[in-house]
Structure 1
Amino acid sequence: MTLVARLCGLLLMLWSGLALAETPPDRRVALVIGNSSYRNAPALPNTVNDARDMVTALRKVGFEVVDGIDLDKRGMDAALTRFARLAQDADAAMFYFAGHGFQFNGENYLVPVEAKIEDEVGVQYETTRLNDVVTALNYAKGVKIMVLDACRNNPFVGLLAKRQATRGFSVGSGLAPVQRAQGMVIAYATQANDVAADGAGRNSPFTAALVREIDQPGLEVAALFRRVQKSVYDTTAGKQTPELSLSLLGDFYLNREETDADVWRRIRASDDTTALQAFIQRYPQSFFVIDARTRLDLLERRSLVSSDREKLIREFAERERALLQRLERAEQGRRQAADDLARKDIGDAVGASPPVSAPGSAPVAIAPAPPASRTQDKAERARLADELARREAELAAIETEKQRLAEERRNVEQAMAARLGVSGSLSPNRSTQPIALPGAALRPSDAAPRGRASGECAELLMRAQLGDLTPAGREQLRQCR
């Protein structure tokens, strides 16, 4: 009973260890808001498109997104509340806002669509504090990302500035720097205290670049935003430079899909033409497309040559079989002719020897053979000798034909090998021996030449470039030099 209990305990520990080893999938949440149709300010032309395109991009890379378009104060508060609940213990939380925002007394505010901001009271009660967004992000246990495409030219700033001298508060252009926390990434569409452009196309320059870079797999978040910075700087001819504040202890990737390099590393030695074609379609601009096309071409040529090779083997096997049958029949005829001639010679020798007489008796007289019989014997012997010579000539002709067949086989094999770009056999193991046909013995002259042919060296070099070269292949490549 003790043994059973121990076994049960061991199984329970093993099961628990396996359960702990299973890593739950990362949970990623985001809040995306795009405000455009402001009632007390000019509408922003791109913010709705910016928000919708950002929602699509984030959902594509695995984020659960709370989204809102043209939200009033109540709508923004409701969306922020829902997001804060989702962010609890999330592995990553992201906030994106496109719309009007401004700084007041060093604190940042985001503007709902119905806000009417004429004084500091409107600031306090008709806007959303950015600090409330930071509080919601901090519910997440992992990476926190805040993206603000809100540094637009804000008309509310002008209204507040008129009261600034008499009310003792400060109003500035753009957004004020946000105090960063551990594990937080803060990206501004432009530098602090500066104004960002709306853009003339579908999106603002900042969001257009950000959506484009999120679609690129394998970009660490810092590298991603640096690329966004450069893109915006180039697009605006240096008039706008996004700003990044980052405080991460490790790497984080918005798009965790495999890169073209990851996929190519996995399939570069594959003989699956479907996988290679899918790679070319998926990454048409990849640096590795040339290698993929080269390998695909090699495999397609091998497939064609392999089919031709099988046909060639069957054809030569049939011709060799017919030739061997002729050879056997000719050999049988030669043996028969040789036996007949030998029996004739023995018979003539026996018939020509004198009979043996008994001791003491008189010698036996031998009657000479008739002239007609001697003539017939000579004619028969000549006929048998001619038949033997004819059979031997037939055997020699068949042997010559056999050599011609072997030479033809080698020539055709070399032509097929040249099509493939290798030398020697076209068998899957790439042996350098000629194709072995049934009944065809390999003579020393048939052996593979020493050294490496240029076609084989070309293939070995290509396989080395593709990283698909075995140690034996590397040794063969050294022989090419």
Structure 2
Amino acid sequence: MRLSQYLTLCFLLLGFSSLNAHADKRVALVIGNGAYRNVPALSNPTNDAADVGAVLKRSGFDPIVATDLDQSAMQEAVLRFAREARGADVALFYYSGHALQFAGVNYLVPVDAVVRDEVDLRRLVRADEILADLQQAKNLRILVLDACRDNPFAEELRRNVGQGRSVTVSRGLAKMESPDGTIISYATQAGRTADDGDGRNSPYTSSFLEHIRDPGNVNSVFQTISAGVYQRTKGTQVPELSLSFFGEYYLNGKPEMAALSPATAPQADPCADAGDHWRSTEALGTLAAFKDHLVRFPACAFADLARSRIAALAKSADEAKQISAFDGTWIGRERCQAEGPFPESYYQHALRIKNGVLHAAFGDDGKPGSSIYDGKIEADGSASIRVRGLLPENDPLRRPAGSPYQYKIVLALKDASGSGVRTETSRPCQMELTKLVPQSPGANPAEIDAKRTNRHDDKTAVIPPEQRGDGKARQTGGLTCSTMRGRCAAACAGFTGNANCASTVCPRLEAECMSSGCWHGRGFSGCGLAKR
């Protein structure tokens, strides 16, 4: 009798302890979209959602599991979850399926989605809005995106997005800022794509299912999940983990510590502090921090991840260094062949590259004759430059002044020279480029500007050595107003570092020259120039 009473008491105590382990309110929304109608289907997301929902339920969550949702059903599920998250202790959102980023914003894709341009993006679910809904939970918020497959709408978006806009359509997902008390776990790094997997589940979900019920602090659990993905894919897929939760929270209780006698006590574990050190390392995110972790814990759980991050950061640094090598002012000399009503023409532009981005504006913005050049220079010196402008007066095709036009210039730069050709236009034009070398590397720009203010009307020109003298007006032979404008463009950019001066000062000097036959600039002042 006593034995049966004792056993009954034990079962009651176990039941109470089980209830206490999950006494907090935990809610989750798990979505798996795979049966896409207008883009390639995915085989694993429905399995991922079913299995994740089951394992979360065993961990004390009350999960909403939904699969293959169209736009309406997906919006309804998100709204229901937003209400459930109010007052919850823990809120978790898990998504497996297609997703994309546009202009730095991540979108989750319903199965009936058709994305032709940026307007259609309103039919998708924004990940940052999900993140905002999660913030209603009191203690811990978790966002999991196993959704970094390649963007199936990328080419359509690139073709149809607002013409001339400098908006990139990138691979993978963009990294989001993690608010306090939040964990964001991506299947792979920002801007990379993840594998859907050949088995029942994706590599990320497989690792999630294996480790989400591990005892231990939730930060350590997600770090172990990330390490598991890296190991499963043999280093080809490196998850991104953003931790802004600095307390302690145990989804499945603390690890049990067995009492050991001094005789059987093991030696100190060299990896005991690896998890805590890795959290601080990821928070820093620098090359030096990852190298330091690898030196301290070369054979521990996060060593392979540290090596991968070191390689990625070193590569990024090398690419940035290569791109910055093209920074500076370039003079582009463009020749356009005679074509139909267009005569043979020559143009000269001063183009500025800064941080690997070419940008130049000519003329008065918004007025006839103005133009804007924009484009990114790749590490190998290649670039596709978008040119947008408004037609000037007297267009050979008799189009109204101020009508918009656009085309591209495909560039190839190497060292201090390069070449380019116009595309997306019927007029054949070729460009040769030369990088300007600063004339006085050690000069103080402020001193140069101070000297230039004493010159006549801030005008700059380049003249041949045989024509340089005391700066007084003199007769010149063989020079024309258009020749002087070309030399003015090169010297103006070289002296000031401002590519725009070639499109403001030099045209005014040329206009004066065309009316008077005289050029009055900083380096040259003379008369008798031919107007053509």
Instruction: With the length of structure 2 as denominator, give the TM-score of the two structures.
Output: 0.43
Between Structure 1 and Structure 2, the one with more helix by share is: 1
Between Structure 1 and Structure 2, the one with more strand by share is: 2
Greater relative CO, 1 or 2 (CA 8 Å, sep 6+): 1
Instruction: With the length of structure 1 as denominator, give the TM-score of the two structures.
Output: 0.48
